Amino acid sequence: MATSTAPKLRDHFASKPVSAHNDAWDALYAESFTPWDRAGPSLALADLLAQRTDLIPPSLERDPRGNPLRDASGHVVRRSALIPGCGVGHDVLLLSSLGYDVVGLDYSHRALGAARENQANVQYKSSEAGVECGRVTWVSGDFFGEAWEGGEGGEGTQKFDLIYDYTFLCALQPSERPKWAKRMSQLLAPSGQLICLEFPSGKPLSLQGPPWGVWPEVYEALLANPGEPVEYTDDGNVKSSTSPEQPHPDALHRVCLVKPPRTHKAGLNEDGTVRDFISVWSR
């Protein structure tokens, strides 16, 4: 989100209770004010999926001969993905092109209307010869509620093999972050991966948001103890007392933390170097 747009975002949410924030985001779509939209899919996500196949299971499972596994009806068995706060759906379409069945979730009907237009106009093609794009399902709902689930997700149990978060955690008030971590833990399949493009990295909480600043240690504190409160230092990092004494039964563990070789302009320092991180989490 560009610096010049930050005051408008801050002011738009400053006087509103958290219960009104979903409608407040939708109102910004009504104004066509969407500085979080990157006008294309995440370069950092695309590179990670292509380069770290040791960490991210492919969208399709294959038999020893390399043929995609099929169910009893003859349909190719695909892994499922979820992008909460998907906006106009660039990253949803990226994951679909890689073969995942993807749920793009956003509260805003206006955002999803634009996502459907984007889907019709962009015409993403499968990135793998002989493999069709995965199914795309656009769903309007509150991430923290259960009404939107409706049977979508891995194994029909609202568990997803891959979840991607970018400009979603940073859009939430810091007080809502423990709920985010708990919900992510609930929605992730036992062998699934949560991928987080950590933005805006290092921004002090004193500068207010959205977007609210994050640090790698913030993600670690939240996901290691889902649902539990986190205490912050003056610069927005976490206090050492935040670490749980005992392992949390629903904890997610970080298996990768890197500076992506490419990312959107919003994630760069003034000298062009990458500021933000991308991390992968599993059980």
| 10 domain-assigned | no
Residues 44 and 122 in one domain: yes
pLDDT reported for residue 42: 95
Residues 92 and 209 in one domain: no
Is 280 inside any structural domain?
Answer: yes
Range of the structural domain that residue 26 is part of: 21-32+39-51+76-164
Q: Which of 137, 164, 191 is the last residue of a domain?
A: 164
Is residue 190 situated within a structural domain? Answer: yes
- Rounded alpha-carbon distances, angstroms, from residue 165 to 48, 129, 235, 240, 256: 14, 28, 23, 25, 15
State which amino acid sits at residue 108: S
Residues 6+ away with beta carbon under 8 Å from 92: 83, 86, 102, 103, 104, 115, 136, 138
The Cα 143–Cα 247 span in angstroms is: 26
Residue 107 CA: distances (Å) to CA of 64, 76, 114, 148, 163? 42, 30, 13, 10, 17
Same domain flag for 149 and 179: no
| Statement to judge: residues 184 and 235 lie in one domain | yes
Last residue of a domain, one of 112, 144, 164: 164
> For the chain (length 283 residues), average pLDDT per consecutive 10?
69 91 94 92 94 89 89 90 97 94 96 95 68 91 86 58 96 96 96 96 92 96 95 90 76 96 94 96 96
Which residues partner with 82 through β-bridges? 103, 163
Question: Residue 98's pLDDT is what?
Answer: 92
In a domain, 2, yes or no: no
pLDDT of residue 146: 84
Residue 108, domain member (yes or no): yes
Q: In the prediction, which pLDDT does 155 show? A: 41
Which of 136, 164, 192 is the endpoint of a domain?
164
Helix axis angle for 216-224 and 177-187, nearest 10°, is: 60
141/179 same-domain check = no
Residues 153 and 28 both lie in one domain: yes
Q: What is the CATH number of the domain that holds 114?
A: 3.40.50.150
Residue 132 and residue 25 share a domain: yes
Is 185 domain-assigned? yes
Contact indicator for 135, 102 with CB cutoff of 8 Å: yes
User: What is the pLDDT at residue 192?
Assistant: 96
187 and 98 part of one domain: no
Q: How many domains does the chain divide into?
A: 2
Q: What is the pLDDT of residue 153?
A: 46
Q: Is residue 179 assigned to a domain?
A: yes
Both 80 and 140 in one domain: the answer is yes
Residues 149 and 272 in one domain: no
* One domain, residues 153 and 133: yes
Question: Do 159 and 145 sit in the same domain of this protein?
Answer: yes
Contact, 161 vs 154, CB < 8 A?
Answer: yes
On whether the pTM is more than 0.95, the answer is no
Q: Is residue 6 part of a domain?
A: no
